[in-house]
Amino acid sequence: MELPVLRPEPVANHNSKDAQNAKTLLEASGDAPLRGRGWQEIYFPGSTFKVVTGSIGLESGTVTPDNPVFPTETAYKPPDGAPISNFGGESCGGALFDILRVSCNSSFARMGAETIGEQTMQSDVRHFGFNQRTPIDLPAAATPEFGDTKNSKAFLGQASIGQRTTKATPLQMAEVAAAVANNGILMTPHVMKDVRDDNGKVLETYKPKVWLRAMGEQSAATMRDAMRGVVERGTGTAAQIPGFDVGGKTGTAQIGSDPPTSEAWFICWAGKPNEAPSVAVAVIVEDQPGVSEATGGRIAAPIAREVAEKVLQIQG
């Protein structure tokens, strides 16, 4: 059998003219194939950001697993703006575990806007890496954003559920899941493992570094329990991995209205039962038809499950 001829990418051609022509052609594409979407592009994170809002509530002491019990309603009606509705006009409410499990927009918007408040939300999102440069060893990393909510409960409520002024890279949302898994600590993201010479001798090895502390151990443990509920009996059941401990959060971010389109999200962590989680994953699937809270669970969660499962197999 004749083996295929392996060729380098055109942009890696040793003929500089051919490489530049290939680069120019790729840069003209509307799909931006040269962009590292995982760390160079920011998107509305949708309901995956509720993990951040809930964690800030826990760490600030304004939220516990039992209180407040948010009212059952179809929408949060802020005093200074349009109602923030649940998908499909559904009614939901309750305490933290219940509202995360069903991804209740009205409750998390109310949590951010009224229970936690603007000052704490704006300050504490920085503990999760928002509004600061991501220190990854790759070029031109985008800065995750939690923008000015203009002293408006309506704007703050929308931002607290991953809409309006909130944008994140997939890398940053993977960091959010990892922080929950890692007792509240965000590690510095990196690609390099080691540097070797042409004989394979190791010249330099990456040493793990702490980047930020997002929350304390107790808050992280509580959020792990809440994320387990999402996978066990909530919107993220498609991420279940038999024999492993998995916690996650679905997300759907509307990006178009005519026709309705959305981006499907899922973030998760996973590991062996009764051991510290050993993998964190974030998945975004762009340009999905329709808008439904089920989109992230249906489209992105199975992809996240396959990625996490493969890593767990490699880890043994």
Does residue 105 lie within any of the structural domains?
A: yes
CB 193 within 8 A of CB 206: yes
Q: Please, what is the Cα angle at 275 between 235 and 239, to 5 degrees?
A: 20
Q: Which residues of the chain have pLDDT under 50?
A: 1, 6
CA distance 300 to 286: 10
Our count of domains for the chain comes to 1
pLDDT of the residue at 1: 46
Distances (CA, A) of 224 to 191, 218, 251, 277: 26, 10, 17, 10
H-run or E-run covering 98: helix 96-102
Of the residues 47, 107, 160, 219, only one is catalytic, namely 47
Distances (CA, A) of 256 to 172, 263, 291: 23, 10, 9
Does residue 116 lie within any of the structural domains?
A: yes
183 CA to centre of own chain: 17
Q: Count CB neighbours of 188 within 10 A.
A: 16
pLDDT of the residue at 97: 98
Does residue 66 lie within any of the structural domains?
A: yes
Give the distance between the most distant pair of CA atoms in the chain: 72
pLDDT of the residue at 119: 98
Q: What is the pTM of this model?
A: 0.92
288 CA to centre of own chain: 17
Distances (CA, A) of 151 to 46, 114, 316: 21, 12, 50
CA distance 235 to 108: 16
- Structural domain of 46: 37-315
pLDDT of the residue at 260: 83
Does residue 8 lie within any of the structural domains?
A: no
Does residue 21 lie within any of the structural domains?
A: no
CATH number at residue 298: 3.40.710.10
Q: Which long-range contacts (CB under 8 A, 24 or more apart) does 60-68 make?
A: 60/116, 60/120, 60/124, 62/115, 62/116, 62/117, 62/120, 63/96, 63/111, 63/115, 63/116, 64/95, 64/96, 65/95, 65/96, 65/97, 65/222, 65/225, 65/226, 66/95, 67/95, 68/95, 68/111, 68/115
pLDDT of the residue at 292: 75
pLDDT of the residue at 294: 72
Does residue 255 lie within any of the structural domains?
A: yes
Does residue 205 lie within any of the structural domains?
A: yes
Q: Count CB neighbours of 40 within 10 A.
A: 16
- For every residue of 99-123, DSSP letters joined together read HHHHT-HHHHHHIIIIII-HHHHHH
pLDDT of the residue at 306: 98
Give catalytic status of residue 47 as yes or no. Answer: yes
Q: What is the dihedral of CA 142, 188, 53, 101, to 10 degrees?
A: 110
CA distance 312 to 316: 6
Does residue 14 lie within any of the structural domains?
A: no
Among residues 55, 99, 57, the alpha carbon closest in space to that of 76 is found at 99
Q: Count CB neighbours of 219 within 10 A.
A: 22
CA distance 21 to 229: 51
Give the ranges where 234-300 is alpha helix by DSSP (H): 294-295
Q: Count CB neighbours of 233 within 10 A.
A: 11
